[in-house]
Structure 1
Amino acid sequence: MALIWSAVVAFLVTNTDDLILLMLFWGIVRTVRDRTIVIVGQYAGILSLVAASWLLSLGFMTVPTKWVGLLGLLPLTVGVVNLWKWVKRPQAVTEATAEEASTVSAISGKLSVALVWSVTVGDGGDNLSVYIPFFVHQPLWRMVTIVFVFIVMTAFWLWLSNRLVQTKAIAHGIERFGTWLIPCLFIIIGLFIILSSGLF
Structure 2
Amino acid sequence: MNELFTAFSTGIIAFIATNIDDIVILLLFFSQVNANLNPWQIVAGQYLGFTTLIILSLPGFFGGMILPPKVIGLLGLIPIVMGINSLVNKESITEDVSPESTPSTTTTITDLFTPQVYSIAAITLANGGDNISVYVPLFANSNLTVFFIIICSFIILLGIWCYAAYRLTYQKNIADILTRYSNYLVPFVLIGIGTFIVLKSSALSLVKLVASCLCLMILLKNNSVAESKSELGDRYNQTIGEHDE
TM-score w.r.t. length of structure 1: 0.80
Q: State the partner residue of 1:7.
A: 11
Structure 1 gap ranges (5+): 91-96, 103-109
Counterpart position of 1:105: none
Structure 2 Cα separation of the partners of residues 27 and 183 of structure 1: 14
Q: Report what 2:53 is aligned to.
A: 49
Percent pairwise identity: 32
The answer to whether residue 185 in structure 2 is matched with residue 178 in structure 1 is: no
| Number of positions where the alignment pairs a residue of Structure 1 with one of Structure 2 | 188
**Partner secondary structure for residue 100 of structure 1:** coil
Q: 2:155 is matched with which residue: 134, 148, 151?
A: 151
Offset, 1:74: 2.5
Aligned counterpart in structure 1 of residue 28 of structure 2, from 16, 24, 38: 24
Q: Structure 1 residues 42, 60: CA separation in 2 closer, same or farther (over 3 Å shift)?
A: same
Structure 2 residue 37 is matched with structure 1 residue 39: no
Q: In structure 2, which of residues 64, 67, 76 is the aligned counterpart of residue 63 of structure 1?
A: 67
Q: Hey, what does 2:207 align to over in structure 1?
A: none
User: How far off its partner does 1:195 sit?
Assistant: 2.4
SS in 2 for 1:37: helix
For 2:37 and 2:16, locate their aligned partners in 1 and report how far apart those are by CA, in whole Å.
Answer: 28
Kept in 2, the 8 Å contact 1:69–1:122? The answer is yes
Work out the CA distance in 1 between the residues paired with 2:97 and 2:130: 38
Q: After superposition, where does 1:69-108 map in structure 2 within 5 Å?
A: 69-86=73-90, 100=98
- Cα distance in 1 for residues equivalent to 2:85 and 2:133: 33
Larger Rg: 2
CA deviation profile, 1:148-197 (whole Å, cap 9, x unmatched) = 11100000000011111221122111222223222222222222222222
The alignment's C-alpha RMSD in Å is 2.9
Distance (Å, rounded) in 1 between the aligned partners of 2:99 and 2:29: 19
> Hey, what does 2:225 align to over in structure 1?
none
Deviation string, structure 1 residues 29-76 (Cα, Å, up to 9, x no partner): 214853222111111222222222222342233312111233223322
Paired position in structure 1 for 2:232: none
Letter of the aligned partner of 1:9 in structure 2? I
- If the length of structure 2 is used for normalisation, what is the TM-score? 0.67
Q: Please tell me the residue identity of whatever aligns with 2:138.
A: F
Quick check: 2:60–2:138 contact (8 Å CA) kept in 1?
no
Give 1:11 shift.
1.0
